[in-house]
């Protein structure tokens, strides 16, 4: 059997690049709005929230379309290249824009690019990684995402504070150039299998011609001949797929709907800080763009544990990691209201609470990503002819991306407008309520409905009968 390829830089760099370019301007936007566009101080919070949310709106609209198209393309590399071109155009608009309208256009184009990268990139991962390792692999995707969120605000804040506005975008264009090189290195699973099939046929033909000695185990051992996994259907099945029926089958899953709702909640919890932390630490502690970038470190560093969380989900199922993550976040979100004045102890308290909140978010988000793969594999067993040769990973991750984008749209508005209207403390406990609600939904549905006699544990351990019984 042909070995599945390990996840490597060509798979992870597109995601890192997209997140890097999203996050590099987070600590810069509040200061650039005042210095370059002349936005009054009292309106900065409003426009920061809007600019971040517009990205999420574009991602929301673009994700299902990208997923639908990607499952019907013969090669997933082409949409990744097109997404890169859109990202380059978006970066140019954001770099040169001196009006709110141009900045909004840049963020919209950036969101469309992200829809392509995340939908197609995660579908490629699901195509490539064996079922028993999907959670762990998605943990490495989480690290790639975390590195982008971690490095980008830090570098953006340092560069802006020391050498100015345009050098921040020199970093961005450098990442795009690196991404161009690595995306052309990307070899997709389906073309690789075609090559292996050709090589297999050639080897067998050669062996038949040579009529090897039966006493030579090396010559007669068929395990030495690469074989092709039968998981991809032939191309003729692709022609008869009804895309609306396939989408309906996915959306009929209560388990999938719960995963999408929990993803929405997690995205709100993650992105509400982008619109609030830089402005809040500037107002409370007097920190510049450099401090606004550094304060994201404790929030993001715990996400490097994502592969361990993913491995937990692979072995024990996604329910309890997700529930634990949501519940773990609640007390720390409430306690963030205590950060309300300038002192060393308050700064330490803020960093500690952000670190614990980041750990909780990681514990929930990685299993939710893996849950999408588990559900699609279940559906392919119970409806083997419904999804065609390409399967439904891109479509399913288009829906997941749509849910995450909904959180990116809501989160900055939630955080920014509640902070502006009712205060930092109200914003923090409102997010705690949302996290508690996510824990309840995850306990009821993630990994299978909790009231069933034998809820499924993980995506690769179930047979078709148990899947049907669970109503996946």
Per-residue model confidence as pLDDT tens digits over 94-153: 888 888 999 999 999 988 888 888 777 777 776 777 766 777 777 777 677 766 766 777
Q: What is the mean pLDDT of residues 465-470?
A: 44
- 19, pLDDT greater than 50: yes
pLDDT at 458: 45
pLDDT at 433: 96
Q: Give the confidence band of 180 by pLDDT, cuts at 50, 70, 90.
A: confident
In this predicted model, what pLDDT tens digit does every residue of 56-80 receive, in sequence order?
A: 788 888 888 877 777 677 666 777 7
Q: What is the mean pLDDT of residues 156-160?
A: 81
Assign 24 to helix, strand or coil. coil
Q: Is the pLDDT higher at 218 or at 330?
A: 330
pLDDT at 243: 65
Q: Give the confidence band of 327 by pLDDT, cuts at 50, 70, 90.
A: very high
Least reliable range by pLDDT among 105-109, 290-294, 325-329, 341-345 = 290-294
Q: What percent of the chain has pLDDT over 70?
A: 76
Q: Is the pLDDT higher at 457 or at 150?
A: 150
Q: Give the confidence band of 217 by pLDDT, cuts at 50, 70, 90.
A: very low
CB 459 within 8 A of CB 373: yes
Q: What is the mean pLDDT of residues 380-393?
A: 73
Domain ranges of the chain: 12-194+237-470
pLDDT at 335: 94
Cα separation of 94 and 23, whole Å? 13
The CATH fold assigned to 12-194+237-470 is Growth Hormone; Chain: A; (1.20.1250)
Q: Give the confidence band of 240 by pLDDT, cuts at 50, 70, 90.
A: low
Q: What is the mean pLDDT of residues 440-452?
A: 88
Q: Give the confidence band of 259 by pLDDT, cuts at 50, 70, 90.
A: very high
Least reliable range by pLDDT among 75-89, 127-141, 306-320, 425-439 = 127-141
Please tell me what DSSP assigns to residue 301: G
CB 319 within 8 A of CB 446: yes
Q: What is the mean pLDDT of residues 37-45?
A: 84
Taking CA atoms, 166 is separated from 19, 25, 32, in Å, by: 19, 11, 11
CB 91 within 8 A of CB 21: yes
CB 396 within 8 A of CB 120: no
Q: Is the pLDDT higher at 209 or at 283?
A: 283
Q: Give the confidence band of 186 by pLDDT, cuts at 50, 70, 90.
A: low
Least reliable range by pLDDT among 29-33, 40-44, 404-408, 450-454 = 450-454
Q: What is the mean pLDDT of residues 302-307?
A: 81
CB 270 within 8 A of CB 39: no
Cα separation of 447 and 445, whole Å? 6
**CB proximity list for 184: less than 8 A, separation 6 or greater:** none
- 195, pLDDT greater than 70: no
Give which of 134, 446, 142, 66 is closest to 315, Cα–Cα. Answer: 134
Q: What percent of the chain has pLDDT over 90?
A: 17
Least reliable range by pLDDT among 39-48, 205-214, 262-271, 302-311 = 205-214
CB 2 within 8 A of CB 228: yes
- 348, pLDDT greater than 90: yes
pLDDT at 258: 94
Q: Is the pLDDT higher at 342 or at 231?
A: 342
């Amino acid at each position: 059997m042909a070995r599945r390829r390990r996840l490597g830089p060509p798979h992870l760099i597109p995601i890192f690049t997209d997140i890097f370019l999203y996050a590099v301007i987070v600590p810069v936007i509040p200061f650039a709005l005042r210095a370059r566009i002349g936005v009054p101080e009292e309106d900065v919070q409003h426009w920061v929230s809007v600019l971040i949310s517009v990205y999420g709106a574009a991602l929301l609209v673009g994700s299902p379309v990208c997923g639908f198209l990607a499952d019907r393309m013969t090669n997933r590399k082409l949409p990744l290249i097109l997404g890169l071109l859109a990202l380059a155009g978006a970066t140019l608009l954001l770099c040169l824009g001196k009006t709110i309208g141009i900045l909004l256009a840049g963020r919209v184009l950036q969101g469309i690019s992200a829809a392509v990268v995340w939908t197609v990139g995660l579908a490629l991962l699901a195509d490539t990684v064996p079922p028993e390792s999907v959670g762990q692999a998605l943990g490495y995707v989480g690290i790639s995402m975390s590195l982008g969120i971690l490095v980008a605000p830090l570098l953006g804040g340092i560069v802006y504070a020391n050498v100015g506005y345009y050098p921040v975008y020199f970093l961005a264009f450098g990442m795009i150039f690196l991404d161009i090189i690595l995306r052309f290195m990307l070899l997709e699973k389906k073309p690789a299998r075609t090559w292996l099939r050709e090589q297999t046929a050639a080897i067998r033909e050669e062996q038949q011609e040579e009529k090897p000695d039966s006493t030579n185990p090396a010559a007669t051992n068929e395990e030495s001949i690469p074989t092709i996994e039968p998981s991809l259907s032939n191309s003729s099945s692709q022609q008869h797929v009804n895309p609306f029926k396939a989408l309906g089958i996915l959306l009929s899953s209560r388990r999938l709907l719960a995963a999408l709702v929990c993803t929405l909640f997690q995205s709100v919890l993650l992105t509400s800080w982008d619109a609030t932390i830089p402005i809040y630490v500037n107002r409370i502690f007097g920190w510049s763009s450099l401090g606004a970038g550094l304060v994201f470190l404790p929030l993001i560093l715990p996400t490097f544990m994502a592969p361990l969380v993913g491995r937990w989900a692979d072995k024990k199922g996604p329910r309890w990691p997700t529930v634990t993550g949501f519940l773990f976040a609640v007390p720390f979100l409430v306690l963030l209201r205590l950060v309300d004045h300038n002192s060393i102890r308050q700064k330490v308290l803020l960093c500690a609470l952000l670190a614990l909140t980041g750990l909780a978010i990681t514990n929930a988000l990685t299993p939710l990503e893996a849950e999408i793969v588990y559900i699609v594999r279940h559906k392919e067993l119970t409806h083997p002819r419904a999804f065609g040769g390409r399967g439904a990973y891109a479509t399913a991750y288009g829906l997941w991306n749509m849910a995450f984008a909904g959180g990116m749209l809501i989160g900055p508005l939630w955080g920014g407008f509640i902070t502006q209207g009712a205060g930092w403390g109200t914003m923090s406990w409102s997010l705690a309520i949302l996290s508690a609600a996510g824990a309840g939904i995850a306990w009821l549905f993630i990994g299978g409905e909790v009231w069933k006699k034998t809820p499924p544990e993980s995506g690769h351990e179930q047979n078709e009968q148990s899947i049907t019984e669970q109503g996946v």
